[in-house]
Amino acid sequence: MSRIVLPVVVTANDLFDGDPVWLTPGGNWSRSLADAEVIGEAGLAETRLAAAVAQANRVVGAYLAGVRPGPFGPCPVEFRERLRVRGPAILTSGLCAAE
């Protein structure tokens, strides 16, 4: 495994609807990054990721994503994660929405 830059959260996509989800401290999945367990230890991050990967009947594509502290909880570090938090990047109205 590559070097883990801490802190991180475990994220994946819901198996049934594809929505991004984050692993909570209780081991459940939430659609809100604010509920995610922020992990500050590499060994714990690897353990949580392994547990998430084992939940193939609930989620797909689990991985560790870097975060930083924010005023309302963890904030994503990478552009990809900021986009996932905001929701789908598709047009829901206008000329292209009907296609």
**Can you tell me whether residue 44 is helix, strand or coil?**
helix
Amino acid at position 78, single letter: E
Burial 5-22 (b: 16+ CB within 10 A, else e): eebbbbbbeeeeeeebbb
- What pTM, to 2 d.p., does this model score? 0.86
pLDDT for residue 2: 66
The residue extents of the domains of the chain are 8-86
Q: How confident is the prediction along the chain (99 residues), in pLDDT tens digits per residue?
A: 568 899 999 999 999 999 999 999 999 999 999 999 999 999 999 999 999 999 999 999 999 999 999 998 999 999 999 999 987 766 555 554 444
Q: CA of 78: how far to CAs of 62, 64, 65, 75, in Å?
A: 16, 12, 8, 9
Q: Which two tokens stand for residue 91?
A: 């047009």
